[in-house]
Structure 1
Amino acid sequence: MEHSYTKYLFFTGKGGVGKTSLACATAVQLADQAKKVLLISTDPASNLEDVLQTSVGEQIQAHQQLPTLFTINISPDVSAEEYRDRVIQPMMGVASEMEIKQVKEGLSGACTTEIASFDEFSRFITGEGIDDLYDVVIFDTAPTGHTIRLLELPSAWDDFLENNPGGASCIGPSSALKSSKERYKKVIQSLRDPQLTTFYLVSRPEKSSLKEAAKTSMELRELGLENQRLLINGVFKALNPMDPVAQRIALLADKQLQEIPMPLANLPMKTYPLLPYNVLGLRKLRSLLDETLQSQIVLEEIASSPHAQYHIESLKELVNSLEQGQRTSGLIMTMGKGGVGKTIAAATIACLLAERGHKVLLTTTDPAAHINDFLSQLDQIPANLQVERIDPKVETQLYIHKIMAQKGAKLGANERNLLLEDLQSPCTEEVAVFHAFSKAIHSASRQFVVMDTAPTGHTLLLLDTTGSYHKEVLKHSSLSADKIRTPYMALQDKEFAKIILVALPETTPMREAAALQEDLRRAGIEPYAWLINQCLSALPELKDPILKKRASAEGAIIEQIQTKLAHRTFGIPYLTEELVFPELLSM
């Protein structure tokens, strides 16, 4: 990509745009140049192991075939456990077992997981213990909303500790954080130094993806993070002029490249082609940045590309099944990795239910919400469809106002000030979002609630909060267990909650959805169906060799999902119109 790199490289963007592929390809290229490279994933749903085809764990380890490339996943759960140990250790032999148990329980929430993950992340930015070991440190980040949250944390915690010397009860004694106060300042300085840090905004040549990249660019600038580059991945160039589908896809890509949003227009930009193969393993990763090797592999891949058309039940048939038994209410949640199509699936299901006369609430827990991008493509939305967004910033202010009105009303001025200071903790946002999430679930008892969730890692953290709340309610309630219904219990109720896993017909997205399914099952939550999006194999008469190759590879993936992973399987064909939402609704 470049002849010289800064010490720290961040790859960020909307889910599914190719951040991991480009981060890994860059790491491999630098390692091939005898640079010592550390590649870190901050995505709770990391797939470094799949892409690099080597073992990647929670401790730094060398690539099995490329010894100058080192990898690590920052695991939120492991980071949180280590953080809890740091808080508890000074209490051993001093506090009673009961007191230690209470502190452990108090540190079991999602806000502890968040700050613990950040503590681990900040260690690599400040170079503590690793600064002289690596020439370049590359961060393959979580989808945008989660990454912006991570990058906001240094300032947020620094301000909170400055203004709240009493400490934050939700993350334990402030002494466990205050020792890192100088570290936070150094993190901020390093991220803002263009000689040290570069941010690569990765996008697809698609309107929503570019819009997300533009929003990210502005948010990074607001944080003082100015050194940015734009990488556009998956640009399709048709090889067969007689294939109308290929021509439409290529025209759409060209149009989006000509209409790049203003915040991105002046950034240095590089494009990467849509390839007929998954970029997995060292050879194919090298091909992403080596055009000669890329041309060689493309010829190998398209030499044999039989056309394979595959039939899957449609989204309309999925909605039919959701109505079975004359249902008029219930919770429907679309879940999956970023970029697989959760939002358009949720919006389509909600509109189809509303068109059939049902009262429907369509909402999202995704910080990078794009529901309105699709709804705005319609002349009008159904009258009985209500659209909301769980906006973390708005929900936080509403929550603070509510707590101050309830608890602060009977307090004196000094106590009110202390309460308000405590509520300025960044953890308050997690609690506020959980309350809004719970309210939406509760309303599904009297109408359909269709919820577009955040990408996998963020959703699992929200479910972790839900589970923690469930345990607290059961522990402290005077009611018998059979009279209590927490949000967690609602999600476990298969008749009430229908969880739809959205994936793409590709190996890595399938594996990630399968891993999410296992996480949900461990929590006692059974997915209702899988929805496979962007199926080229559902289109008849493809002629372009790149599209034919990608379509032919889908059959084995779809068959594995249908036979080994899903109770029910539905699909969405690859859509080629500029306004994809009306096209999908009319199918």
Structure 2
Amino acid sequence: MRIIIYTGKGGVGKTSIAAATAVKLAKQGLRTLILSTDAAHSLADSLNTELGPDPVQVGDHLWGQEVNSLRETERNWGMVQGWLTKLFDKAQLTDVTTEEMLVFPGMEELFSLLQIKEHTQSGLYDVLVVDCAPTGETLRLLSYPNVLNWWLEKIFPYERRLIKLVRPVAKVVAGGIELPSNDVLDSMERFARSLEDMQRIILNPDMTSVRIVLNPEKMVLSEAKRSFTYLNLFGFNTDAVIVNRVLPDEAEDGFLAKWRSIQKKYEEEIVSNFQPLPILKAPMMASEVVGLPILEELADLVFGDEDPASILYRGRTETIRKEGEEMVLELAIPFTAKADLDLMQSGDELTVHVGSYKRKVVLPKPLMGRTVLGAKLADDRLIIRFGQRLAERK
């Protein structure tokens, strides 16, 4: 099965690009499901048809689904919610905010993403196109499976044994507070195991790739660079960048001339920041992108003769690793000639100059607060060493 995940800042037209991709894949005869995990669904509007929480056929070889996060929460977390509700009732916490505490931040989105695992294991589809929530929410969830897996392996076995020992006397010594039953603990474990399975699927570079959708604008580009760095940090294979709503060259004359000039500036910056990733362009369409015919037209303009189901790029353009007390950042440089190297660090942003090449990298948390010790070019990669944080040296 092939899985293509679309992400990007809210409002960039991510849903339209994802839907267009799905329409083109279905046209090729592939059984294609497009899945929206965004709480603010707009997929039904894009496809111009009614969708529900289960897959609905919308065309030949094409199905659509808008995941109901509340239903998925009940399925995956209902038993735990029931226990937490009783716990809060005992503690006399009954105001409206306690309802929000029954599900931890970000977990509803994770429950929605678990649909990826279920559809992959079902074998009903050839391709799964995922229209994710806006970048910020999506990236926040990427570390959850790692944390939960660590808890499951290191803490959970001992916690279960302790609860088993304490449960007979808990109501006596703890004011009647009910400890979680085995069913509740089993539910927690199933959820964590499911997340682990899902992570294996979406980190498989032969199966899954992420595509970033952006507009040629300053704030959108900054968000896209940040998400690209974090996707690399978490090990996701990003195989393309789609620049959406590009004005035609005819717009250089008249009312939109200034906008076209601004877009051209950022188009150049997009190339310098994301190469060697393929950079595809989606033009500003002359009418609303609603319905299968115009989505098919949009897909043809974006992909041309390229097969949207293929993995458009393999390999990590950024890697981060720890070496002793130092951290090392490696960047793929799309040329081999060595040239003068200049690095400038400002807050959480690193500007890299190599000859005429310029790239801005938004530093993830492991590198923030560290100073650059040195850099070198080797095998078309720029290797940058970062020292200890100031607080760690004291």
Letter of the 2:64 counterpart:
T
Distance 1:73 1:283, change over 3 A: same
SS in 2 for 1:83: helix
What does 1:383-462 align with in structure 2 at a 5 Å threshold? none
- Give the 5 Å matches for 1:313-328: none
- Contact map agreement 2:9 2:214 (CA 8 A) in 1: yes
* Counterpart position of 2:260: 250
Going from structure 1 to structure 2, the CA distance change for 1:86 and 1:262 (only over 3 Å counts) comes to farther
- Pick the aligned partner of 1:142 from 122, 130, 133: 133
Question: Are 1:40 and 2:35 matched, yes or no?
Answer: yes
SS of alignment partner, residue 164 of structure 1: helix
Using the TM superposition, give the Cα deviation of residue 174 of structure 1 relative to its aligned residue in structure 2, in angstroms. Answer: 3.8
Q: Post-superposition shift, 1:261?
A: 6.9
Q: How far apart, in 2, do the equivalents of 1:18 and 1:128 lie? A: 26
The partner residue of 2:218 within 202, 207, 214 is 207
Show CA shifts across 1:249-308 (max 9, x none): 21111111112275512211111111221100111111102349x9xxxxxxxxxxxxxx
Corresponding residue for residue 302 of structure 1? none
Q: Which has the higher strand share?
A: 2
Q: Who is 2:148 aligned against?
A: 157
Tell me by how many angstroms 1:110 deviates.
Answer: 6.3
Listed as ranges, the matches of 1:504-515 within 5 Å are: none
AA at the equivalent of 1:255 = K
**How far does residue 26 in structure 1 lie from its aligned partner after superposition?**
0.7
Question: Partner letter of residue 267 of structure 2?
Answer: L
Deviation (angstroms), 1:129:
5.0
Q: Distance in 1 between matches of 2:134 and 2:277?
A: 20
Query: If each structure's helix is expressed as a fraction of its own residues, which one has the higher value?
Result: 1
Aligned to 2:229: 218
**SS at 2:285's partner residue?**
coil
Task: Classify the secondary structure of the residue corresponding to 2:256.
Answer: helix
- The answer to whether the 8 A contact 2:4-2:210 is kept is yes
Q: 2:73 aligns with which of 80, 104, 119?
A: 80
Contact 1:202/1:231 (8 A) holds in 2 = yes
Q: Distance in 2 between matches of 1:263 and 1:240?
A: 25
Distance across 1 between alignment mates of 2:277 and 2:252: 32
Displacement after TM superposition at 1:241 (Å): 5.5
SS where residue 111 of structure 1 aligns? coil
Distance change >3 Å, CA 73–CA 86, structure 1 → 2: farther
Secondary structure (helix, strand or coil) at the match of 1:276 reads coil
SS of residue in 2 equivalent to 1:10: strand
- Code of the aligned partner of 1:122: L
* C-alpha separation in 1, matches of 2:239 and 2:195: 22
Q: Of residues 5, 10, 14 in structure 1, which corresponds to 2:5? A: 10
How many residues are aligned here? Answer: 282
- What is the one-letter code of the residue matched to 1:47? S
Deviation at 1:201, TM superposition (A): 0.5
Q: Is the 8 A contact 1:161 1:174 kept in 2?
A: no
Change (3 A) 1:129 1:241: closer
Structure 1 residue 156: deviation in Å? 2.5
CA distance in 1, matches of 2:185, 2:107: 12
Range with bigger deviation, 18-27 or 179-188: 179-188
Aligned residue identity for 2:107: I
Cα 1:241–1:17 shift into 2, 3 Å? closer
Match of 1:266 in 2: 276
Which of 270, 277, 288 aligns to 1:278? It is: 288
The letter of the residue matching 2:136 is G
Aligned partner of 2:111 among 119, 123, 136? 119
- Normalised to the residue count of structure 1, the TM-score between the two structures is 0.43
Letter in 1 for 2:21: T
For the residues of structure 2 that align with 1:114 and 1:241, how far apart are their CA atoms? 43
Please report the TM-score for the alignment, with normalisation by the length of structure 2: 0.62
Relative distance call for 1:88 and 1:128 in structure 2 (3 A) is farther
- 1:357-376 aligned within 5 A: none
What runs of 5+ residues in structure 2 fail to find an aligned partner? Answer: 164-176, 305-347, 350-364, 366-394
1:232 to 243, 266, 273: 243
Q: For 1:365-396, what per-residue CA distance to the aligned partner results, in whole angstroms no more than 9, with x for missing partners?
A: xxxxxxx99xxxxxxxxxxxxxxxxxxx9xxx
SS for the counterpart of 2:50 is: coil
